Structure 1
Amino acid sequence: MSMTQSGKLNLDSPHSTETQGGKTDTFQQVTFPTPFPAGSSVIVQVTVQTFNGPETPGVRLHDVTNTGFKIRFNEILGGGVSADGKHTTETVGWTAYTV
């Protein structure tokens, strides 16, 4: 049986672009309202729902578990060229579900 949860958060990025894989000390922890059952395969999808800053806020996720996930912006410029990474506050919606 599939299980779904959703939510939203206000997210900004006061830090420079993170380029080292697995380095998550600048990520924000999101905890699910209800943990998914232990051993579940959890998928998280996110969408930026506002347009407060002129550059594109690339979204990075890490450590998706049955209790939550980590998220941050890595601001990008058009054409895939990295910007400084810093981005103003945007509203981000998320949906998590089991597969």
Structure 2
Amino acid sequence: MSMTQSGKLTLSSTNSTETVGGQTGTFTQVNFPTPFPAGSDVIVQTTVQTFNGPETPGVRLHNVTPTGFLIRLNEIYGGGISADGKHSAETIGWTAYTV
């Protein structure tokens, strides 16, 4: 039996782009309203729901577990503009489910 949960948060980035894998000091912890059963395989999908900054925001996820996940907004390269990682506040929607 699969479970589904969803939510949203306001997220911004005042930090430079992370260039080393596993460096999560600038990520934000999101805890699920109800933890999934221990041992569950959890999938998290995100969508940027606003358009507050002129550059394209990217979303990075890390350490998805039955209790939550880490998330970071990370500006990405686009339109000839070099991304520095910093981005204004955007609303991020997320859906988590078991498979």
Q: Which consecutive residues of structure 2, in runs of 5 or more, have no partner in the other structure?
A: none
Measured in 2, the distance between the counterparts of 1:41 and 1:47 equals 20
Q: Which residue of 2 aligns with 1:20?
A: 20
Contact 1:75-1:82 at 8 Å conserved across structures: no
- CA displacement, residues 43-74 of structure 1 (integer Å, 9 cap, x when unaligned): 00000000000001111000000000000011
Measured in 1, the distance between the counterparts of 2:82 and 2:41 equals 32
Normalization by structure 1: what TM-score?
0.96
Secondary structure at 1:78's aligned position in 2?
coil
Measured in 2, the distance between the counterparts of 1:13 and 1:80 equals 20
After TM superposition, the runs of 4+ consecutive aligned structure 1 residues lying more than 3 A away are 79-82
